[in-house]
Amino acid sequence: MPSVLRTQRLFLRPWRADDGVRLHPVLTANHAYLSPWIPAHIADPASQPLLAQRLAAFGADFAAAREWRYAMLTSDATSVLGELSLFPRDAKARVPYQQADRVELGYWLREDATGRGLVTEAVREAVRVVAMLPQFVHAEIRCDAGNEASAAIPERLGFVLAELYSEAGPPEGVELQRWTLRLRPDAAAGTCAAP
Ligand SMILES: CC(C)(COP(=O)(O)OP(=O)(O)OC[C@H]1O[C@@H](n2cnc3c(N)ncnc32)[C@H](O)[C@@H]1OP(=O)(O)O)[C@@H](O)C(=O)NCCC(=O)NCCS
């Protein structure tokens, strides 16, 4: 994936350790908003040294094409808005890039920037770029069935709801949705895979 994505209102690039200074207040202010929906190791406002370590690791993963976590910044690159992440995977799990046939997208946005279509704009651009990589046949978005704001994004962008499923193990009873988008007209629908 390219190390910079630009849209009309956004500038996206890999996280850097020194982003921690700007990210920490955003995570602190948005913890109650984010924590029901995204993993603690992303949502928790860790101490500055730990946050710097976390962000440096994200940057290293990006450089090694293990996964691509973009800091989502305002177009002038001054303010942290959230994150857009892409994970190579197959039907069952996240896998190394060389074994992947699809990319899974994830995102979060600070609450005071919601309602303006920013994540839709970011995902649209990421999908456009991913579609140029021959490795990937599908794009996927997986979200809690109760997360209406999240599910609205793939629906708005023409993804199809391929599956409702529950993950083995806790938390029990959480229903998840798998949204899928065929990146090339000749690709199979990708609806028969187990999560
Ligand atoms: C999920 C989340 C990213 C959605 O944020 P969002 O602001 O609703 O999403 P978008 O940035 O795409 O904006 C869509 C909203 O902007 C509005 N909008 C305004 N201009 C728009 C435009 N040009 N294009 C698209 N939508 C636009 C839409 O109508 C929609 O608002 P509505 O929900 O009131 O109808 C955000 O709620 C979040 O971070 N939640 C917590 C973390 C999370 O759930 N992450 C996903 C885990 S699967």
Task: Identify whether the C-beta of residue 72 lies closer than 8 Å to the C-beta of residue 80.
Answer: yes
SS3 15: coil
pLDDT score for 174? 86
Distance of alpha carbon 64 from alpha carbon 60, whole angstroms: 6
Distance, CA 97 to ligand 1 centroid (Å)?
A: 28
Query: Which parts of the chain register pLDDT below 50?
Result: 189-195
| Structure-token pair, residue 140 | 């996927």
Q: Phi and psi dihedrals of 98, rounded to 5?
A: -65, -25
Long-range contacts, 30-36 (Cβ 8 Å, 24+): 30/110, 30/111, 33/110, 33/111, 34/108
pLDDT score for 173? 72
Distance of alpha carbon 165 from alpha carbon 50, whole angstroms: 34
Q: Is the CB of 134 under 6 A from ligand 1?
A: no
Q: Is 125 exposed, middle or buried (0-12, 13-18, 19+ CB in 10 A)?
A: middle
pLDDT score for 190? 46
Q: Is the CB of 147 under 6 A from ligand 1?
A: yes
Q: Is the CB of 174 under 6 A from ligand 1?
A: no
pLDDT score for 192? 38
Q: Is the CB of 170 under 6 A from ligand 1?
A: no
Atom of ligand 1 nearest to the CA of 110: 39
Atom of ligand 1 nearest to the CA of 109: 39
Q: Is the CB of 109 under 6 A from ligand 1?
A: yes
Q: What is the largest CA-CA distance in the chain?
A: 48
pTM beyond cutoff 0.85: yes
Distance of alpha carbon 72 from alpha carbon 15, whole angstroms: 9
Nearest CA owner, ligand 1 atom 14 = 117
Q: Is the CB of 72 under 6 A from ligand 1?
A: no
pLDDT score for 168? 72
- Counting ligand 1 atoms within 8 A of each CB, the residue from 116, 144, 148, 174 with the most, and so the one to mutate, is 116
Distance of alpha carbon 131 from alpha carbon 134, whole angstroms: 7
pLDDT score for 76? 98
Q: Is the CB of 141 under 6 A from ligand 1?
A: no
